[in-house]
């Protein structure tokens, strides 16, 4: 395995990364343009940031699959910096802001040098969510008007929100053909974006939704241009304008306002958001990495700082790590940082080759993409989810959201932190616990000499105030080992910590380790922090929706009675082992429910809720799986129907194992696995005949057990019965081997 040199591995992985970089560039182009326009910067500023990010961070960075470029979170701060410092002259404001961006790049670099990445833990989860929601509302409020074709709406977020009805009224009462076309493009694009995730067609899904929007709207514009001979149907304010000569017309930062307090304030806000957005994204991408690598956060921050400096020098926005594009990258089979590089290389190509076509993109289409982005950030279900954790979390969320909307981002997050602290003090009925113990060490971690387990004990309290101390210790535990976290000496654990621990728990179980939290039952009895407890057990928060069984559940129950199996409708978050299947390598398992288990525990049928991608590219799935115990040791392999998508995947994944003797099987199935020889030996004639003569399932073996899925949706009772029969026959054949 290790015979190949790193360089050879790099070469072998190259096609995958080029492909993935290409797909990412398809989404990076519209987002880059859109985010820049939303910040009132020239459209090219976003593309420059993506190019600088891809080039620099791919070489100097410390993460593996992240994509860097202009970020959603920064739109609002950069917008207010440009408007605020421009004092009416947006272009001049943009030049001042470039200086602020450059300085923030330097600060980012300094953060990395002094290893301050851990400081991001100092922000309470809920306050951060509130801040992100506020950013989402900000983007949505401004872009909604543009989506309808009105570009002249000014004012702060609250004003723009209030003006939304009047824009709609305007559209109804005063329909010029320009406005109708613009709003039609915008609204249809938005509808499409919302529906895209529901379209289950692998070829269609190959191109990211934002690119479809761009392509279709460019098509419409060409239709008006070439066929209807009406090139100026949309006014100049609704079209993207790129400078004629891209290289000579680069703006440069204006340091004229460096010493003003305004400038310093904006710089700090920009840095703050850049750090938070990047670190959140890096952490999230690490969880999606199929190779389970850990990113070097501080190295990445340094690289982002340098990239931001370069980007701003050429007139670009901040470079941050972005989650949506990164998850597209992961899903398209990227293997290393070079994908980020190729994404920016393709952007350079696009800009050089398609400058004319890009200028055909109507603003309402880009605005629709941004409205969708803003909606996903501020979606009401986020608030609902926060309230489920606890009412006080809802209070923190709303306080931060409103404070950010009314004042500005730094004040908002600061108020969010203060609110969280206040809530904690109220819940404990005193602040002494915090004031007395904040600066004291409170973590003990050691490798138990008798058992070889890592034992971590936490004393006093553990909240966002001192979570970084616990994290520092946890980060030193290899995730493939067994860790026990004991909270019995700890009087208070907050939501930020519980959520953080949940991440660790997933990380450990992905790498075959074991992460156990003990000593929290004491707390429940004292009801000191029910919200934290509830967080740690996602099943209990979902229990309430299972009061009465649905028709399908009743049928499942009947089926289990006939088979004399055990049926459990409740969701459980215990899905150990599932993550080790290929199928879930880049997916995120939420919970398992409707479990049907045979008495001898060899058959386990369940519905599974899981997600792929993240943020605007996130897709939620619910499918029915059957997991059976293999009668004997088997090679590790995955068997799927051969279709267009799997052909594409072969560019990026393991090669299809074909059998000359069985052309029909080889044509119909895509078989892959590391140990090709063992798999070839395993797939004997009778087994191949069995697969050929039965409906094609997605089937995977991890050595000891077999996972079977029919379609990417819940199976009907009839389908379940078929699947069970299929599995029984399969077991018989395997037993006779």
Partner 1 sequence: MSTTVFKKIMVGFAFSPNLKANVYESLRIARYFGGQLIFVHVGSKTPEKESHFKEIVASSPVQSEKINIHWRAGNPVNTLLKASQEFNVDLILLGALKRENVVKFYLGSIARKITRRAKCSILLLINPSEKRHPCHHIVVNGFESPQTKDTIRAAFMVAKALGAKKISLVEEISRSKVAVDVDDDRSLRKATLKKEKLRRQEQTRVEDVVNNLPAKLTAEINWTTQSIFGRRGYSIGHYAKVVRSDLLVMNAQENLGFIDRLITRDIEHILAELPTDVLIISSKGYE
Taking Cα atoms as reference points, which of 311, 240, 225 lies closest to residue 274? 311
CB of 12 to partner 1, least distance (A): 21
CB closer to partner 1, 22 vs 455:
455
Q: Where does this chain bind partner 1 (CB under 8 A)?
A: 62, 115, 293-299, 440-441, 443-450, 455, 457, 459, 475-476, 478, 486, 489
CB closer to partner 1, 443 vs 706:
443
Fill in the DSSP letter of residue 261: H
CB closer to partner 1, 169 vs 293:
293
CB 213 within 8 A of CB 189: yes
Sign of the Cα pseudo-torsion (17, 347, 281, 122, in order): positive
**Joined tokens for residue 663:** 């052309």
Residue 589, SS3? strand
Cβ burial of 414 (10 Å; 0-12, 13-18, 19+) is middle
CB closer to partner 1, 384 vs 446:
446
CB of 4 to partner 1, least distance (A): 18
Report the phi/psi class of residue 29: left, alpha or beta, with left for phi > 0 and alpha for psi in -120 to 50.
Answer: alpha
Q: Distance between alpha carbon 534 and the CA centroid of its chain, in Å? A: 24
CB 319 within 8 A of CB 57: yes
CB of 456 to partner 1, least distance (A): 10
CB of 441 to partner 1, least distance (A): 5
**3-state SS string over 306-375?**
HHHHHHHHCCCCCCEEEHHHHHHHHHCCCCCCHHHHHHHHHHHHHHHHCHHHHCCCEHHHHHHHHHHHHH
CB closer to partner 1, 5 vs 718:
5
- Angle at which helices 6-38 and 125-147 cross, to 10°: 60
CB of 282 to partner 1, least distance (A): 11
Taking Cα atoms as reference points, which of 299, 623, 255 lies closest to residue 307? 299
CB closer to partner 1, 476 vs 576:
476
CB of 523 to partner 1, least distance (A): 15
CB closer to partner 1, 57 vs 211:
57
CB of 61 to partner 1, least distance (A): 11
CB of 277 to partner 1, least distance (A): 20
CB closer to partner 1, 306 vs 626:
306
CB closer to partner 1, 300 vs 700:
300
CB closer to partner 1, 17 vs 63:
63
CB closer to partner 1, 484 vs 537:
484
CB of 462 to partner 1, least distance (A): 14
CB of 475 to partner 1, least distance (A): 5
CB of 460 to partner 1, least distance (A): 9
Classify each residue of 506-541 as buried b or exposed e, where b means 16 or more C-beta atoms within 10 Å of its C-beta: bbbbbeebbbebebbeebeeeebbebbbbbbbeeee
Taking Cα atoms as reference points, which of 485, 61, 543 lies closest to residue 305? 61
Question: Distance (Å, rounded) from C-alpha 42 to C-alpha 351?
Answer: 14
443-449 contacts at long range (C-beta below 8 A, 24 or more positions apart): 443/469, 443/470, 443/473, 445/473, 445/474, 445/476, 445/477
CB of 735 to partner 1, least distance (A): 40
Classify each residue of 437-464 as buried b or exposed e, where b means 16 or more C-beta atoms within 10 Å of its C-beta: beeeebbebeeeeeeebbbbbbbbbbbb
Question: Distance (Å, rounded) from C-alpha 405 to C-alpha 392?
Answer: 20
Give the full edge-to-edge strand order of the sheet including 698-702.
566-568, 587-597, 603-612, 619-629, 705-709, 698-702, 636-641, 669-672
Question: Distance (Å, rounded) from C-alpha 549 to C-alpha 547?
Answer: 7
CB half-sphere exposure, 44, CA atoms < 13 A: 20
CB of 477 to partner 1, least distance (A): 9
CB of 689 to partner 1, least distance (A): 44
CB closer to partner 1, 454 vs 606:
454
- Angle at which helices 177-196 and 209-222 cross, to 10°: 150
Total count of residues recorded for the chain: 737
CB closer to partner 1, 169 vs 440:
440
CB closer to partner 1, 295 vs 701:
295
CB of 478 to partner 1, least distance (A): 6
Residue 627, SS3? strand
CB of 115 to partner 1, least distance (A): 7
CB closer to partner 1, 381 vs 476:
476
Taking Cα atoms as reference points, which of 321, 324, 317 lies closest to residue 48? 317
Contacts of 325 (CB under 8 A, 6+ apart): 24, 27, 28, 31, 67, 69, 343
CB of 430 to partner 1, least distance (A): 10
Question: Distance (Å, rounded) from C-alpha 45 to C-alpha 79?
Answer: 13
Taking Cα atoms as reference points, which of 398, 467, 473, 498 lies closest to residue 123? 467
CB of 675 to partner 1, least distance (A): 24
CB closer to partner 1, 436 vs 554:
436
CB 130 within 8 A of CB 400: yes
CB closer to partner 1, 154 vs 440:
440
CB closer to partner 1, 162 vs 447:
447
Taking Cα atoms as reference points, which of 543, 481, 541 lies closest to residue 514? 481
């Amino acid at each position: 395995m290790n015979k190949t040199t790193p360089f050879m591995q790099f070469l072998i992985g190259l096609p995958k990364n080029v492909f993935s970089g290409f797909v990412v560039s398809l989404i990076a182009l519209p987002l880059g343009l859109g985010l820049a326009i939303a910040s009132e910067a020239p459209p090219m500023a976003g593309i420059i940031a993506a190019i600088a990010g891809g080039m620099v961070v791919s070489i100097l960075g410390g993460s593996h699959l992240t994509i860097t470029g202009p970020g959603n979170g920064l739109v609002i701060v950069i917008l207010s910096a440009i408007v605020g410092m421009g004092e009416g002259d947006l272009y001049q404001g943009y030049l001042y802001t470039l200086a602020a961006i450059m300085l923030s790049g330097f600060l980012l670099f300094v953060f990395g040098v002094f290893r301050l990445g851990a400081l991001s833990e100092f922000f309470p989860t809920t306050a951060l969510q509130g801040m992100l929601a506020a950013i989402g509302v900000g983007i949505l409020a401004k872009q909604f008007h543009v989506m309808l074709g009105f570009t002249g709406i000014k004012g702060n977020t609250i004003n723009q929100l209030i003006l939304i009805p009047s824009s709609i009224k305007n559209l109804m009462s005063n329909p010029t053909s320009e406005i109708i076309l613009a709003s039609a493009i915008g609204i249809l694009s938005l509808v499409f974006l919302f529906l895209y995730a529901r379209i289950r067609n692998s070829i269609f899904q190959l191109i990211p939704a934002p690119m479809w929007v761009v392509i279709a709207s460019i098509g419409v514009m060409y239709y008006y241009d070439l066929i209807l001979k009406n090139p100026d149907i949309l006014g100049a304010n609704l079209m993207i304008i790129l400078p004629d000569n891209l290289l000579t017309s680069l703006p440069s930062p204006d340091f004229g306002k460096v010493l003003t307090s305004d400038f310093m304030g904006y710089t700090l806000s920009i840095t703050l958001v850049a750090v938070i957005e990047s670190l959140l994204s890096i952490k999230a991408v690490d969880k999606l990495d199929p190779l389970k690598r850990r990113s070097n956060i501080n190295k990445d921050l340094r690289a982002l700082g340098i990239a931001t400096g370069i980007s701003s020098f050429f007139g670009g926005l901040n470079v941050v790590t972005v989650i949506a594009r990164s998850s597209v990258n992961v899903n398209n089979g990227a293997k290393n940082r070079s994908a980020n590089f190729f994404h920016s290389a393709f952007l350079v190509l696009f800009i050089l080759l398609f400058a004319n076509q890009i200028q055909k993109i109507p603003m309402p289409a880009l605005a629709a993409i941004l409205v969708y982005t803003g909606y996903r950030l501020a979606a009401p279900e986020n608030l609902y989810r926060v309230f489920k954790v606890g009412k006080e979390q809802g209070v923190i969320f709303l306080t931060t959201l409103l404070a950010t909307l009314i004042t500005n981002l730094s004040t908002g997050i600061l108020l969010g932190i203060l609110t969280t602290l206040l809530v904690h003090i109220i819940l404990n009925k005193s602040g002494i616990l915090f004031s007395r113990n904040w600066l004291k060490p409170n973590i003990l971690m050691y490798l138990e000499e008798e058992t070889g387990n890592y034992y971590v004990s936490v004393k006093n309290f553990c909240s966002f105030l001192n979570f970084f101390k616990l994290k520092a210790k946890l980060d030193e535990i290899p995730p493939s080992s067994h860790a026990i976290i004991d909270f019995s000496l700890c009087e208070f654990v907050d939501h930020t910590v519980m959520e953080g621990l949940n991440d660790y728990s997933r990380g450990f179980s992905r790498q075959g380790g074991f992460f156990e939290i003990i000593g929290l039952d004491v707390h429940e009895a004292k009801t000191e922090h029910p919200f934290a407890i509830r967080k740690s057990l996602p099943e209990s928060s979902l229990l309430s929706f299972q009061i009465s069984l649905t028709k399908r559940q009743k049928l499942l129950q009947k089926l289990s009675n006939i088979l004399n199996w055990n049926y459990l409708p409740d969701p459980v978050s215990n899905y150990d082992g599932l993550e080790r299947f290929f199928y879930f390598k880049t997916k995120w398992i939420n919970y398992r429910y409707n479990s049907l288990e045979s008495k001898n525990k060899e058959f386990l049928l369940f519905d599974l809720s899981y997600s792929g991608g993240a943020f605007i590219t996130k897709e939620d799935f619910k499918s029915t799986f059957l997991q059976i115990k293999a009668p004997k040791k088997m090679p590790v392999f995955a068997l799927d129907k051969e279709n267009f998508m799997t052909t594409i995947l072969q560019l990026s994944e393991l090669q299809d194992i074909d059998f000359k003797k069985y052309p029909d099987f080889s044509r119909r199935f895509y078989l892959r696995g590391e140990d090709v020889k063992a798999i070839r030996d395993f797939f004997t004639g009778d087994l191949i005949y069995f697969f050929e003569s039965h409906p094609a399932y997605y089937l995977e073996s991890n050595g000891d057990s077999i996972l079977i899925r029919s379609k990417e949706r819940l199976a009907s009772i009839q389908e379940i019965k078929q699947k069970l029969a299929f599995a029984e026959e399969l077991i018989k054949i395997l037993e006779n081997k």
